[in-house]
Structure 1
Amino acid sequence: MIESFVIALGAWRWVVLGLVLLALELIAPGTLLLWLGMAAIVVGGLALLFDPGWQIEVVGFAMLGLAAAVGWWFLGRPDNAASTDRPMLNRRAERHVGRVFTLEAPILNGEGRIRIDDTIWRVQGPDMPSGTRVKVTAADGANLSVAPEL
């Protein structure tokens, strides 16, 4: 039943497939279905004009879809890391490397705390009393490594 419907659509099946793929792109974004949908619509348009046969249509769809996806990957993808004015936005701990702070709590047995703005951060380093000025040397997740300020 579905097969006979698809055959009855003729070249319009590619346009319908393209529209379905574009609609699916709205549900599962990621741009791959966008390019495949556009390739299907182009093949449908060409099939309406020239009627090349289903084998050439399938090969044309595969080539156009692949070319569009690869072209987007290399040429059109935004490079968010390089184009943002705040490259460390989601890497809060790494933003503090190289900065100097005062210990909120002493470092005992290698662990202590510092206050940065309104947040208390866990720090690791050599034992030091509270109030000591320390420089953040590294970040590992939510932990900061510190050394005495020189």
Structure 2
Amino acid sequence: MLADLGPLLGPWAWFILGGVLLVAEIAAPGAFLLWLGLAALVTGALSYVVGLTWQSEVLAFAALAVIAVLIGRRISPAPGRASDRPFLNRRSEGFVGRVFTLDEPILGGVGRVRIDDTVWRIEGPDLAAGRDVKVIAADGATLKVEAVEG
């Protein structure tokens, strides 16, 4: 039954398949269906311009899909590659190892410290205001600190 629709739809079958694959990429992102969808659209355009047989269309789609996926792998960022902004969306982790001066005392193991234009919640030993503390860890928006001697 589907073989009967091929001659009826012609290049439009490839345009529809390409659109479905692109919509599926939006629903289940992974940047793989994107390249197959683009290959289907190019196959439809080729079929529209040249007037290929359905066998040639299938072969063209297969070749274009392989080429598109290879190009996509080359231009897509590799997972795990070092970022030029490693603390983006993890700002608190960028403070680990830095030293700050307490504006307010740490009481009951909890306090606050102003860093630039932001007040951060800190946890550490009870200390008086004016003491220097070193950030030893970050847990979400809470910084774990220890006293700096000297």
TM-score, with length taken from structure 1: 0.69
- The residue that corresponds to 2:115 in the other structure is 116
Asked whether the 8 Å contact 2:105–2:129 carries over to 1, the reply is yes
Asked whether the 8 Å contact 1:136–1:146 carries over to 2, the reply is yes
Give structure 2 stretches of 5+ with no counterpart: none
Asked whether the 8 Å contact 1:103–1:132 carries over to 2, the reply is yes
Paired positions, count: 144
- The root-mean-square deviation of aligned C-alpha atoms, in Å, is 3.7
- The residue that corresponds to 1:40 in the other structure is 40
What is the deviation of 1:82? 2.5
Could you say if the C-alpha distance between residues 49 and 5 of structure 1 is closer, same or farther in structure 2, counting changes exceeding 3 Å?
closer
Higher relative strand content: 1
State the distance in 2 between where 1:83 and 1:126 align: 35
Give structure 1 stretches of 5+ with no counterpart: none
TM-score, with length taken from structure 2: 0.69
- Identical counterparts, % of pairs: 46
State the distance in 2 between where 1:71 and 1:26 align: 17
- The residue that corresponds to 1:132 in the other structure is 131
State the distance in 2 between where 1:144 and 1:51 align: 66
Asked whether the 8 Å contact 1:21–1:33 carries over to 2, the reply is no
What is the deviation of 1:106? 1.5
